[in-house]
Homo-oligomer: A and B are copies of this chain.
Amino acid sequence: MALVNEHFLKLPNNYLFADIAKKVNAFKVSHPNADVISLGIGDVTQPLCPAVTESMHRAVDEMATEKGFRGYGPEQGYLFLREAIVKNDFLPRGIHLDASEIFINDGAKSDTGNIQELVRWDNSIGVTDPIYPVYIDSNVMIGRAGTIKDGKWSNVTYLPCTAENDFIPEIPDRRVDIIYLCYPNNPTGTVLSKEELSKWVNYALKNDTLIFYDAAYEAYIQDPDIPHSIYEIKGARKVAIEFHSYSKTAGFTGVRCGYTVVPKEVTAATLGGERISLNQLWHRRQCTKFNGASYISQRAAEATYTPAGKEQVRESIAYYMDNARTMRDTLTELGLEVYGGQNAPYIWLKVPNGESSRRFFEQMLYNAHVVCTPGVGFGPSGEGYVRLTAFGKREDCAEAMRRLRKWL
């Protein structure tokens, strides 16, 4: 008899954003005339920039000719893109990577979900709390997270990030095998200084801990002192795997392309104490269960590194960061406690009057027809907050603020 993987049954029925979409749909059905503005899921709204679409058209044209047609590409991605990444995303920050340390994917969600396959199912994990749900859910599915009680998983060390500690996670007082960090942070929109990040790298070096570092929002950093990559910290290439995405940088949420950096020095141990290179293991994993990202998407990503592409990407990021500023200003003016939004496209809003985040989400939806994401969906320390994204269209963002001003 085929037996089901019962770890799946421990999960809440719906993935967070699928759940919210359901609730919003229910509202729309009962309020067909309401003009709902979504600042909920972190999805971009600006069209792809010309440098990118021109490159995609060229790639499609190539694929239409006998000479230009490309079938299977390398599972780890085309060299033209991996070399552009090394040269543009890392070299200018003094980070020297080899193209064989870059793995192109169909988006960071896949890899942040799949990376845990490389380590034993019973390794312990630590996460900053609140956090992007994929990290924990993917560990639940394989049994690594343990069982849930009062919203917490038994084999997960939670590192609270709240206004009380300025959203700076405290180094755990015990050893954890694997730590997930995401900076600029989703959902709080806060960042870590070089000094704070160094503490984590040192902790990892000292405790033989692996760091999964999600840098999906690094392009939104405005402050020149904030690190864009964990590899800016000495020693990090021995302990950290880093995830990047074009989704938020260049509006690729519908195009699907990102990449993962697995330096050759990063290892995990066998029970016998042998050190195994995770670069080689991840290569084996990708060759077996992945067949490369779309050629057209890879050419699209490459185009973001041309002079025109860089300029257009910068403009689009400035557009969203303008939204963030408007939102911060309005909400602060209204006397609310507002975090994030200065080096990240997310605003983390303290719910006024001690209301629960789910209740406040519903009130905002029903009273202002604006969708946010209840903080508790990101973990127990998210209770009492909601997330607003700056990815809306300018006019929607302004209108949402007008409505909140009227409502609150």
Contact = CB atoms under 8 A, between A and B. Distances in A.
Nearest to A44: B71
B288 A141 contact: yes
Interface string A208-223: 1110000000000000
Nearest to A62: B47
A64 B312 CA distance: 13
Nearest to A176: B2
A16 to B, nearest CB: 9
B296 A117 contact: no
B57 A60 contact: yes
A291 B110 contact: yes
A6 B56 contact: no
A43 interface: yes
Contact of A48 (B63, B117, B210, B289): B63
B284 A11 contact: yes
Contact of A288 (B68, B113, B117): B113
A5 interface: yes
A91 interface: no
A169 to B, nearest CB: 19
Interface in A285-314: 285, 287-297
Contacts of A11: 284
A147 interface: no
A334 interface: no
Interface string A50-61: 100100110011
A290 to B, nearest CB: 6
Contacts of A43: 71-72
A123 interface: yes
Contacts of A120: 3-6
Q: Which of A73, A269, A285 has the most CB of B within 10 A?
A: A285
A109 B291 contact: yes
A293 B256 contact: yes
Interface stretch (A156-164, A247-255, A353-361, A400-408): A247-255
Contact of A2 (B72, B114, B178, B253): B178
B71 A60 contact: no
Interface string A1-16: 1111110110101110
Contact of A289 (B1, B110, B209): B110
Contact of A56 (B2, B209, B291, B296): B296
Nearest to A112: B289
B178 A63 contact: no
Given A1-B208, A5-B120, A256-B293, 7 more contacts: A8-B281, A57-B57, A71-B251, A71-B253, A72-B254, A106-B106, A110-B290
Task: Give the top 4 A-B pairs by smallest Cβ distance, nearest first.
Answer: A113-B289, A4-B268, A15-B287, A2-B210
23 contacts: A3-B119, A3-B269, A4-B119, A4-B270, A6-B120, A9-B270, A11-B284, A47-B64, A47-B66, A47-B69, A53-B60, A53-B64, A57-B60, A63-B255, A69-B251, A71-B251, A106-B293, A106-B294, A109-B291, A117-B142, A133-B288, A255-B296, A296-B296
